[in-house]
Structure 1
Amino acid sequence: MKISHYFELEEHVTGGIRESVVHQRKMLDRLDVEYTTEPTLDADVFHCNLMGPRSVWYARRARSRGIPVVAHTHVTAEDFGDSFRFTNALARPLKPYLEWAYGLADALICPSEYNRRLIETYTDATTTVVSNGVDGEKLEGFEALEDEYRERYDLESPTVFLVGHVIKRKGLETFVELARRLPHLDFAWFGPLDLSLKGRETTRLIEESPDNCTFTGYVDDIRGAYAAGDIFCFPTHEENEGIALLEAMTAGKPILVRDIETFSWLDDGKDCLKVAASGSGVDAFADAIERLEDPDRRERLGSNAAERSEAFTLESVASQYQTLYDEVT
């Protein structure tokens, strides 16, 4: 079996989608599945990760030749808004386009149950939930970087942190306001800023953030973020899964999230703390962070989170790809 495992705009797209593709290819290597990263119809399955115009072109021709099409549903109109400049304006016309594009697939891969429920309002194509997974090897040895990264960004424990692109949808306003409410703690957001791509409101929030709120920009070794951070605070309003969250759990960090449907699989008080989704939730988030200043509570929640993350390792997820390819061919 040969897979055309195509990632349109691979040289330009970053963040969670890129990480997912990296994980997928590691899993295909683990399965010893033959694949090419080029779009081609000389394959048994055409698997695309981003339904851009070139992917759609190949998908339509693959179907006309009887080649099964598998597509990932990384992108939804719901999580496209409040990301980069102009994305809010594009979110509305994006949905009918995705309804049509995803409908070209014989099978859709959804990274979470929440994402699947959303996609089922787009198309009646067959859906399968397969986690993006977490690459534990990528994090190996992160503990050794603690002193270096705390010194580099002038951070003291316990540091409240987040990992990923700095975008409003991920709870930027809440994160900044929390830093303002809790001046005795350091807050650090590790990830690309790309201010030229941000809207005016996002730029203002970053530039007017308090002194105890650090935006590091691109980090050359992401292990340093998990070494320097103590409390993973993820006040996102919309998420398909959240690879950084899985990484933080694998690193044994206590997790604090907004109680949105995406995170319904997490147990509040056992492997995370949740804050009600209504409003900004700043007061409730602040209360939860103050509870997590207790090192024993951090240790307990972090240990439970690490144990829970074992179900998402690449080793655990890989076989689902083999099963799916076998089903569609």
Structure 2
Amino acid sequence: MRVSHYFEWESHITGGHAQSVENQRTILDRKGIKYTTEPTLDADVLHLNNMGPRSLYYAKRAQRAAVPVVVHGHQTAEDLKESFRFFTALSKPARPYLSYAYSLADHIVCPTDHNRRVLETYTDVPKTVISNGFDPEKIDGHDDDALRQEYLDRYDLDPPVVFMVGHVIERKGLRSFVETARRMPDIDFVWFGYLNPGGGTVDRLLRSRMTTKLVESAPENCTFTGYVEDITGAFAAGDILFWPSKNENEGMALLEAMAAGKPPVIRDIETYEWLDDGAHCLKADETFVEPLRRLIDSPYERDRLGDAAGEKSEEFTIDAIADDIETLYQRVTE
């Protein structure tokens, strides 16, 4: 079997979307499935990971050539809201565009049941739920005491540390993160992730005014690190993951934090119906002080939830989902 595994605009996309594609290619390597990262019809399967215009062009050509098209459902119009400047306005025309784009697939991969239900309203193309997964090797060393101390010292953090990992955007719950930190001045909050406030023209154009305002008005106990090259340090330094994101297709950093044994406090949204409140995490609708304080005050609760979260995360390793990807390829080619 040979797969055309194409990721349009690959050099410009970061975060969980890019990591998902990397995970898929790691699986292909481990399974011994031959693939090219170029779009081509000289393959048994055309697998598309970002439905830009070039992907649409090749999807239509593949239909005519009877090459099965698999599309990963990374994007929804809902994702665009409250992310970067102008993206909320783009979410309205994005809906019909994505509906058309996804309709060109023979099969759509959805990372969660929630994502599948959303995409059911876009197109009736057959869908299979397969997690984006995470690579445990990416967080190797998170329990290294020296690394923990290095990051605590670098950002002047005093444990227990409440932390977040991801792009600094409103959709990720930026306002809740900042305001919760303001209400808990005795606790250090740190957000590890891309911000680059001193970046170039494109960066300044993309970052919304509200994002800039929230970051600049954050209290002293709320730190934004910007891009961190070794993300393992974030999982080493953090003690409680605070994940107040308003909308996610899955949330890879959440899976990684769980695998590192960090107890998560998350917003109660449909995406996380597979996580049980009080068993794998603590959930809240908007007021997060109480569940965070509960974990801060009880090392036992932190350990209990962290251990349970770690066990749950084992369902989502790339080894756990590898067979599902291979089986899907076999199904569409048959």
Question: Residue 198 of structure 1: CA displacement?
Answer: 1.1
Q: Which runs of 4+ in 1 moved over 2 A?
A: none
Equivalent residue runs for 1:90-101 within 5 Å: 90-101=90-101
Distance 1:312 1:220 in 2: 24
Q: Deviations over 1:193-212 (max 9, x none)?
A: 14412111111000110010
In structure 1, the residue matched to 2:295 is 292
Structure 2: gaps (5+ residues): 198-203
Output aligned runs, 1:83-122, within 5 Å.
83-122=83-122
Counterpart of 1:12 in structure 2 is: 12
Distance 1:143 1:191 in 2: 20
Summarize the alignment of residues 218-237 of structure 1 with structure 2, pairs less than 5 Å apart: 218-237=227-246
Separation (CA, whole Å) in 2 of partners of 1:9 and 1:189: 26
Does residue 1:56 correspond to 2:56, yes or no?
A: yes
Asked whether 1:46 is paired with 2:46, we answer: yes
Q: Which residue of 2 aligns with 1:216?
A: 225
Structure 2 match to 1:34: 34
Q: Which amino acid aligns with 1:288?
A: P
**Amino acid of the residue matched to residue 80 of structure 1?**
L
Alignment of 1:275 onto 2:278? no
SS at match of 2:5: strand
* Partner SS for 2:3: strand
Q: Deviations over 1:269-302 (max 9, x none)?
A: 01100013xxxx13xx001111011111000000
Counterpart AA for 1:291: R
Tell me how far 1:80 sits from its aligned partner: 1.1
C-alpha displacement at 1:134, in angstroms?
1.3
Share of identical aligned residues, percent? 58
TM-score relative to the length of structure 2 = 0.96
Contact 2:162 2:239 in 1 (8 A): yes
Q: Which residue of 1 aligns with 2:185?
A: 183
Distance 1:68 1:100 in 2: 17
Partner of 2:284: helix, strand, or coil?
A: strand
Offset of 1:30 from its aligned partner? 1.2
> Contact conserved, 2:196 with 2:227, CA < 8 A, in 1?
no
Are 2:324 and 1:320 equivalent residues in the alignment? yes
The 3-state SS of whatever aligns with 1:35 is: strand
3-state SS of paired residue (2:90): helix
Amino acid in structure 2 at the alignment position of 1:181: R
TM-score (structure 1 length as normaliser): 0.97
Residue of structure 1 in register with 2:314 after alignment: 310
Deviations, residues 219-278 of structure 1 (Å, cap 9, x unaligned): 0100000000011011111000000000000000001111100000001001100013xx
For residues 167 and 73 of structure 1, the distance between their equivalents in structure 2, rounded to whole angstroms, comes to 21
CA distance, structure 1, for counterparts of residue 138 and residue 171 of structure 2: 26
State how far apart, in whole Å, the 2-side matches of 1:63 and 1:110 are.
Answer: 21
Corresponding position: 1:66 with 2:66: yes
Query: How many residue pairs end up in the alignment?
Result: 323
**Residue pairs, 1:127-276, within 5 angstroms:** 127-144=127-144, 145-195=147-197, 196=204, 197-276=206-285
Q: Could you tell me which amino acid in structure 2 is paired with residue 290 of structure 1?
A: R
In 2, Cα distance between equivalents of 1:50 and 1:148: 37
1:74 match: secondary structure: coil
Deviation, 1:54, is 0.3
Task: Give the Cα–Cα distance (whole angstroms) in 2 for the partners of residues 136 and 166 of structure 1.
Answer: 24
| C-alpha separation in 2, matches of 1:170 and 1:194 | 17
User: SS of 1:11's equivalent?
Assistant: helix
2:218 is paired with a residue whose SS is coil
8 Å contact kept, 2:110–2:131: yes
Q: In structure 1, what is the Cα distance between the partners aligned to 2:228 and 2:98?
A: 32
AA aligned to 1:35 is Y
SS at structure 2 position matched to 1:292: helix
Pairwise CA distance, 1:141: 1.1
Alpha-carbon displacement from aligned partner over 1:32-80 (angstroms, at most 9, x marks no partner): 1010111111101000000000000000001100000000010000111
